[in-house]
């Protein structure tokens, strides 16, 4: 009974997403706007966790929703829409992180010298930011999904495209690596 109560909001959410997807595919212009507004923060959190840089994360979010907008008909409805969306967000963010890795290394010195950070960008705790930045993008994605999105291991497994045991192992290793970097940053 308790589990049914707990699961209820998820089912409603699933159904609501599916309805919005169907409305969008049938030509309802506002349906995708509702999807976008509902999931913008979550996708932004994933992108920011992986990319760290707020501007790059905001840019990646637009890329993610553009991909979803164009390929929503490919959503097979066997999984939750949110899982499908997060998977796109993770993959796209990791892709962007790899693309920007070299650029970030070369630009970092210039930014450190004189360029100020954007005023509107919300600053992350420097210690957390430093520890995250030392992780691989895949590890950052796992940390983000678990601690920021608070997804279950099943949902994380679906989002990164692996089984639950693999997700669990990878998450524990990522968390341990993060802890080491976090303590290094604090010392």
Partner 1 sequence: MKQRIPPDVERLMWLVAESHDPSAVADFESRFPELKQELARRRRMVSELKGAKGASASIPVFQPRSTGSQAPRTKQILIGGAFALAALAAASYSVTKWMLTPVPKPPVVTPVRTDSPMNVVPPVVYKQPQKQDNPAPVNQQPVQHPETTPTQSNVEQPKTVKMSNTSLVAALKMIGAESGYSVEVAPGFHDQKVTLDYENETASAIFKDLGMRYQFTAFDQGDGTIIIVPAVDHGGPTGDTNGSDRQLGG
Tokens 């070369």 belong to residue: 106
Interface pick for partner 1 out of 13, 18, 28, 63 (rule CB under 8 A): 63
Interface pick for partner 1 out of 77, 98, 118, 148 (rule CB under 8 A): 148
Q: Report d(CA 92, CA 157) in Å as an integer.
A: 17
Interface pick for partner 1 out of 5, 9, 27, 70 (rule CB under 8 A): 70
> How distant is the alpha carbon of residue 37 from its chain centre?
15
Choices 22-30, 76-84, 124-132, 154-162 (CB under 8 A): range interacting with partner 1:
124-132
Nearest approach in angstroms of CB 66 to partner 1 is 5
CB of 135 closer than 8 Å to CB of 177: yes
Does residue 75 interact with partner 1 by CB under 8 A?
A: no
Nearest approach in angstroms of CB 117 to partner 1 is 14
What are the phi and psi torsion angles at 67 (to 5°)?
-60, -45
Look at residues 63, 110, 129, 56 and name the one whose alpha carbon lies nearest to residue 91.
Answer: 63
Tokens 């967000």 belong to residue: 89
Tokens 């909001």 belong to residue: 9
Choices 5-13, 16-24, 36-44, 77-85 (CB under 8 A): range interacting with partner 1:
36-44
Does residue 179 interact with partner 1 by CB under 8 A?
A: yes
Does residue 65 interact with partner 1 by CB under 8 A?
A: yes
Sign, CA dihedral 83-138-100-98, equals negative
Does residue 125 interact with partner 1 by CB under 8 A?
A: yes
Beta strand segments in 33-177, E: none
- Judged by CB, which is closer to partner 1: 54, or 157? 54
Nearest approach in angstroms of CB 77 to partner 1 is 22
Q: Report d(CA 118, CA 146) in Å as an integer.
A: 28
Q: Report d(CA 15, CA 80) in Å as an integer.
A: 9
Does residue 44 interact with partner 1 by CB under 8 A?
A: yes
Instruction: Kindly list the residues in this chain that would bind partner 1 in the complex (CB under 8 A).
Output: 32-33, 36-37, 40-41, 44-45, 48-49, 58, 62-63, 65-67, 69-70, 95, 120, 122, 124-125, 127-129, 143, 147-148, 172, 175, 178-179, 182-183
């Amino acid at each position: 009974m308790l589990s049914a109560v707990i699961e209820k909001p998820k089912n409603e959410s699933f159904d609501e997403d599916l309805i919005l997807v169907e409305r969008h595919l049938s030509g309802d212009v506002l349906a995708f706007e509702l999807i976008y507004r509902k999931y913008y923060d979550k996708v932004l959190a994933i992108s920011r966790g992986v990319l760290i840089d707020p501007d790059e994360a905001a840019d990646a979010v637009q890329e993610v929703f553009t991909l979803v907008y164009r390929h929503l008909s490919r959503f097979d409805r066997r999984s939750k829409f949110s899982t499908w969306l997060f998977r796109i967000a993770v993959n796209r963010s990791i892709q962007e992180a790899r693309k920007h890795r070299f650029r970030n290394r070369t630009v970092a010195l210039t930014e450190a010298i004189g360029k100020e950070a954007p005023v509107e960008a919300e600053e992350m705790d420097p210690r957390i930011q430093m520890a995250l930045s030392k992780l691989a993008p895949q590890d950052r994605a796992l940390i983000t999904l678990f601690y920021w999105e608070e997804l279950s291991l099943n949902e994380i497994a679906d989002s990164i495209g692996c089984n639950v045991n693999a997700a669990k192992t990878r998450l524990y290793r990522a968390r341990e690596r993060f802890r080491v970097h976090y303590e290094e940053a604090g010392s």
